[in-house]
Structure 1
Amino acid sequence: MMQQLQYRKKGVTYGSVQVSKDIKYADDQPIVPWGPRPSKSTVKDMRINLGISAAIVVWIGIMANADWKPLQFLCFAFFYRILQKLRATEPPITPIYNEYGEVEGRGIRMAKRVVRALGLIFGCVFAASLGYTAAVNVIEFAWQYTPRIVYYYQELIVTAATSVLLYITASYYR
């Protein structure tokens, strides 16, 4: 039985049956298939991501109250960055053309990349907002009041935290 398992992992089969990659690499499959997967970027890409994050944090630091505009620009910039990274890390496929000369499944692959990029971005915004809310609740519970600075700089705190999370996500995950 162990010998057959070793053969399956190597892709060796009996007859004309091929072992699929899902079976061959079953132990390497992620638990959550749509979740972020480790994928380190190049140094140049990491510097670009850091520059975007730093520029947004400086912008909100200077403006102090910008009506959530920096967060919107941050999401747009990282949407493009993550979408390009997903496109670059996608495995190459052999194009299959239909009767109209269009590549089969191209739209579905693009839609999956868009949904995944949006999921990663909104997940970072959600985590930062949830972290801010949890911190406010802990401060209020511990001190029996909430300092004004926490309320006045909500936008700054959430946008800066989102900026850090998006930098990490865009640089080290896909």
Structure 2
Amino acid sequence: MPDVFTPAKRSEVMSRIRSTGNAATELRLVALMRAAGITGWRRHVQLSLGTTAMSVPPSSSASPAAPGKAKAGGKVKASAPTPATRPLRVRPDFIFRTQRVAVFVDGCFWHGCPRHATRPRQNRKFWDEKIARNRQRDLLVTRRLRQRGWTVLRLWECALTRQRQPRTLARLRRALEK
């Protein structure tokens, strides 16, 4: 069945869909930590990391009027932060606030695991760029958190398999003991 939307409309519709996280993978880590008696963690706590200077092109729907100027009809619209000054907020999958440890569980596909990532055959350029942006953002977030005194632990989704769980638990314990 052909798509009922034009490619531009489909892109707009899909851009409004927000992720709810990788619940199954996170729940595996929850079960692993509970079985190991690791406590003191919280999920999805928002941390503010200042502003970002990521190079994001301005949207094409941006108004040509100067920020804060009156528009037709006399209304003043507050200007949104520009990409260069946009606040950078992050929600690690788990945080241990007292130890200042942030844990991210990165999906093998979405973050480009060197061992298990697959590349879609369709629209390969798009996906390569998407995963590269994800990795660039991960690097920025990790650096910012470390600058603020956090220990950052990034776990691959594949590190939660039964065979690799002991090594994953050892890494987590080492990070918590620092």
| Length-normalised TM-score, structure 2 | 0.29
Higher fraction of helix: 1
- Which protein, 1 or 2, shows the higher relative CO under an 8 Å CA cutoff with sep ≥ 6? 1
CA radius of gyration, larger in: 1
Q: What TM-score results when the alignment is normalised by the length of structure 1? A: 0.29
Q: Counting strand residues as a fraction of each chain, which structure ranks higher? A: 2
